Structure 1
């Protein structure tokens, strides 16, 4: 299961890590699909440029994003006693599917959200800029309407918090 940024520019997921460091982006009934051919694993039948790494050989997890970003490694350990969340180690039995635990996936999701935070913040800047532009256009129109209705530049200046002269300089040529 993956995550999509609000601008649709980033898609992230908790990727399984193969022994050679390649990351999976999907799975099949036989294991995790990793791009590239090492010759160590059998090729996937449908996606022939992918190999199938058995779940038992997955060594851990890390955040991945289609932009190329990768988070820090979460290591898969051999026993529950070796698991230590603060040390980025988690236990998933070798006979189980190699999916990250909910706790690790949530932590990876948080890392991914930190990765996309600048682009998410830019969306807010873009929205505020659009609103600012629209408000400026509304202000220009209402000033023109007020002037057409007989308001003085002093009245308009007072309404927008400037002097008569500043109001005249800003809007006189927009009449």
Structure 2
């Protein structure tokens, strides 16, 4: 389960990091699925021939990941609850259990991912505003043409558009 950007170009998640640095995208009760086969781990099965399952006990860190290739800062797995500290990116996950992070760490990673996608999210706002601007320009052109056809002067049109008579004439006389 991950997070998706509004433009659907980014999907982020908390990825477990295998000992060899490969990132997981999913898991089962046995371990974390990682892309690529080294022969060091159990094959993921016939449906995932290009993946291996790294046992949960071998996962010693996590990081944010995104489908675009971005990777967040590393979170270290620590052996006791007392060693866990969100501020220093240390997370406790008991050995012998599934190597998942807490909700607090997942939210911290999500916040980091949101910073990563902020530029593309902001661009979506620019795209929407530019589209509205073009549409408003087309509406204005049609309205000016209708006003001119109805007998309005360039002075009146300029005043309504808050520009000079000459600017109104130059902008719309040929349309």
TM-score (norm 1): 0.96
**2:161 aligns to what?**
160
- Size of the alignment, in residue pairs? 174
Instruction: Tell which deviates more after alignment, 130-139 or 30-39.
Output: 30-39
Instruction: Tell which deviates more after alignment, 127-136 or 86-95.
Output: 86-95
**2:24 aligns to what?**
24
- Long gaps (5+) in structure 2: none
Runs of 4+ displaced beyond 3 Å: none
What is the CA RMSD across the aligned residues, in angstroms?
Answer: 0.9
Residue 3 of structure 2 contacts residue 11 of structure 2 at CA under 8 Å; is this kept in 1? yes
- Long gaps (5+) in structure 1: none
Residue 18 of structure 2 contacts residue 60 of structure 2 at CA under 8 Å; is this kept in 1? yes
Q: Residues of 1 paired with 2:170 and 2:44: CA distance?
A: 70
**1:131 aligns to what?**
132
**1:119 aligns to what?**
120
* Counterpart mapping for 1:7-156 below 5 A: 7-46=7-46, 47-156=48-157
Instruction: Quote the offset at 1:28 in angstroms.
Output: 2.2
Instruction: Quote the offset at 1:140 in angstroms.
Output: 0.4
Instruction: Tell which deviates more after alignment, 139-148 or 27-36.
Output: 27-36
Q: Deviations over 1:63-113 (max 9, x none)?
A: 001111100001110001111111000111112211111011101111111
Give the 3-state SS of the residue equivalent to 1:107 in structure 2: helix
Instruction: Quote the offset at 1:17 in angstroms.
Output: 1.0
Instruction: Tell which deviates more after alignment, 37-46 or 160-169.
Output: 37-46
Q: Residues of 1 paired with 2:138 and 2:44: CA distance?
A: 58
Q: Residues of 2 paired with 1:73 and 1:23: CA distance?
A: 11
